[in-house]
Amino acid sequence: MIHVVIGTKAQLIKMAPLLAYFKRHGMPYHYISTGQHKATIDEILANFDLRAPDTLLYNGPDITSIKQMAVWGAKLLWRTFWHSREVFPGDRTKSIVLVHGDTFSTLLGALMGKFAGLKVGHVESGLRSFNWFHPFPEEITRLLTFKLSDYFFCPGEWAVNNLVKEKGHKINTINNTLYESLQAALSVIERITDVEIPLHTYAVVTLHRYENVYKVEALSRIVNLIEQIATSCPLLFILHKPTEINLKKFGFYQRLVDNSRIELRPRYDYFRFIKLLHGAHFVVSDGGSNQEECYYLGKPVILLRQSTERKEGIGKNCVLSCYDPQVIDEFLNHVDDYRYTFKPQTESPCQIIAGQCLQFATKINDDKV
pLDDT in tens, 199-216: 999 999 999 999 999 999
266: confidence class by pLDDT, cuts 50, 70, 90? very high
Q: Choose which CATH entry (3.40.718.10, 3.40.50.2000, 3.40.50.620, 3.30.360.10) describes domain 196-267+280-338.
A: 3.40.50.2000
- CATH superfamily entry for domain 2-178+347-368: Glycogen Phosphorylase B; (3.40.50.2000)
pLDDT at 28 > cutoff 70: yes
* Residue-level pLDDT at 362: 67
Instruction: Answer yes or no: pTM beyond 0.75.
Output: yes
**Is residue 134 within 8 Å of residue 140, measured between CB atoms?**
no
262-266 sheet: strands from edge to edge: 262-266, 235-239, 203-207, 283-285, 301-303, 318-320
Q: What is the pLDDT of residue 368?
A: 45
Model pLDDT, residue 273: 97
pLDDT of 289 above 70? yes
Per-residue pLDDT of 47-94, as tens digits, reads 999 999 999 998 888 887 778 888 888 888 888 777 788 889 987 778
Q: pLDDT grade, residue 227 (50/70/90)?
A: very high
Give the span between the Cα atoms of 229 and 220, in whole angstroms: 14
Query: Where along the chain do its domains lie?
Result: 2-178+347-368, 196-267+280-338
Average pLDDT over residues 305-317: 94
> Average pLDDT, stretch 354-368?
71
Mean pLDDT throughout 233-239?
Answer: 98
Nearest-angstrom CA–CA distance, 231 and 234: 7
121: phi then psi, degrees, rounded to nearest 5 = -115, 130
At residue 363, the pLDDT reads 64
210-8-212 Cα angle (round to 5): 15
Share of the chain above pLDDT 90, in %: 80
